[in-house]
Amino acid sequence: MLFTDRDDAGRRLAEALREYAPEHPVVLGLPRGGVPVAAHVARALGSPLDVIVVRKLGVPYQRELAFGAIGEGGVRVISDDIVRRGRISPQDVARVEEAETGELERQAHRFRAGRPRIPLEGRTAIVVDDGIATGATAAAACRVVRAQGAARVVMAAPVAPPDAVARMAQAADEVVCLSTPPAFSSVGQWYRDFSQTPDEEVLALLAASARPAQPLPQEVTVDAGGLPLPGELTLPPDARAVVLFAHGSGSSRHSPRNREVAGALQRAGLGTLLFDLLTPAEEGHRAHVFDIPTLADRLARATTWLGARTELPLAYFGASTGAAAALTAAADPASPVYAVVSRGGRPDLASNLAAVRAPTLLIVGGDDTLVLTLNREAQARLRCENSLEIIEGATHLFEEPGALDEVSTLATSWLTTHLPP
């Protein structure tokens, strides 16, 4: 597998790590090259981003080959096998370690820029690098975060040799690697652009993520007319509205795509409620997925439940058949929602589209041709303010690099610009 650059690698790695989103992990990038990759992972998972400073101890006559590594907190990892085969003397080991200790302290001071380390106690930590060669640096990073109290350590990288991945299993609870080519000589051979990441880029990425910590979701039980439905309510400080997510096609509140969009909305100051419209017993029957009246009724009842707990304006974000449920609920004259966004939705399945008063945004992938046709037909039936946005090159699930970022940007813009005064 060949990566265009670190941005490309970060997007692909983020897709492979979406299953960890429900654990609300902390994402830690290894400077310098690991931080741009980690930034994409953190953004996709809606997680905080931090840096984990580790210095590789390079063989004196071949700096790219590591015989060990050191990390914050006095962690030290040495490969006795490489030291022995490389005939590295104890004096050489001490000399390299002394030099790298000074650089470790310099980097920690520079990259943290006075910001406190994100606490890891009891949390899942995902350590990210742009690639693993010997695994010494990555192993040191994993031991550092474990020493800092992480309950679960996941090591993630776009590429690594098979033997390094096997060794990493001793330092991390789980290892996620996209490519493990047997013919491996260096990380850079698997990138078209592997130019050095400057300190300034690392600082900019860390500064951009150093906003006030997003509040953790509150586990709630939504009362949908006597039917208890599990959900997660997240209210950022000074939230300006709350967006209810209507999941479709049998997906749940753990949908990684909706969670990524929810994270973007939260960063924009909007609260989110992600909850299950179907019970576990119902999810296995396709008929329930297309029972739009029932889904819309449950969404409306959930809206009433939430409205009794907050005076903030309410909006809907619906995906697939969930979008039909959202528009059906919004068509009720008593609906309080101020805006609706549909992602890859089926608005054609909604009843009484002409009665919807809330401004409605339809987002469809350009390569999702059938759904795009159905959205155009549904748009013609809408009488409210509306817009159809097409993301070129995207398919139904918006799995293409950058596609879901565009969805998040469009949804955030629509839901913030249409906020009631």
CB 240 within 8 A of CB 420: no
CB atoms within 10 A of CB 23: 15
Range list for CATH 3.40.50.2020 in the chain = 6-209
- Mark residue 46 as left, alpha or beta (left: phi above 0; alpha: psi -120 to 50; beta: remaining): left
CB 363 within 8 A of CB 344: yes
Query: What are the helix and strand counts (H, E) for the chain?
Result: 14, 16
Range list for CATH 3.40.50.1820 in the chain = 218-417
Q: Which residues of the chain have pLDDT under 70?
A: 64, 210-215, 249-251, 284-286
pLDDT of residue 249: 64
Rg (CA), the chain: 24
The pairing of strands 54-59 and 124-128 is: unpaired
CATH superfamily of 218-417: Alpha/Beta hydrolase fold, catalytic domain (3.40.50.1820)
Quick one: which of 147, 154, 72 has its CA closest to 111? 72
pLDDT of residue 284: 64
| Residue 203: both structure tokens together | 């600082």
- Please give the Cα distance from 36 to 47 (Å, whole number): 14
pLDDT of residue 253: 82
Give the bridge partners for 361, in sequence order. Answer: 341, 387
Q: CATH number for 6-209: choose from 3.40.50.2020, 3.30.70.20, 3.90.120.10, 3.40.630.30.
A: 3.40.50.2020
pLDDT of residue 72: 78
